[in-house]
Amino acid sequence: MGIREGDIVTISSVAVYYSGKAMPDWVKNDKWIVKSVTGDMAILGKNVSGSNDINSPVNIKYLNVGGQSQQSSAMEQNFAGSQKNVANSRNAAVTGEMSVSDRGVELIAKYEGCRLEAYKCPAGVWTIGYGHTEGVQQGQTLPSVEAAKALLKQDLKKYGGYVNNCVKKGLITFPLTQNQFDALTSFCYNCGNGSLQTLVSGRDASTVADKLLLYNKAGGKVLAGLTKRREEERALFLV
Catalytic residue set = 112, 121
Q: How many CA atoms lie within 13 A of 98 on its CB side?
A: 23
Reported as type and span, the H/E element at residue 225 is helix 224-238
**Who contacts 12 (Cβ-Cβ below 8 Å, separation ≥6)?**
28, 61, 62, 63, 64
**Who contacts 83 (Cβ-Cβ below 8 Å, separation ≥6)?**
50
H-type alpha helices, 31-127? 70-90, 102-112
CA angle, 63 as apex, 118 and 66 as ends, to 5°?
155
Do residues 133 and 125 lie in contact, with contact meaning Cβ atoms separated by under 8 Å?
Answer: yes
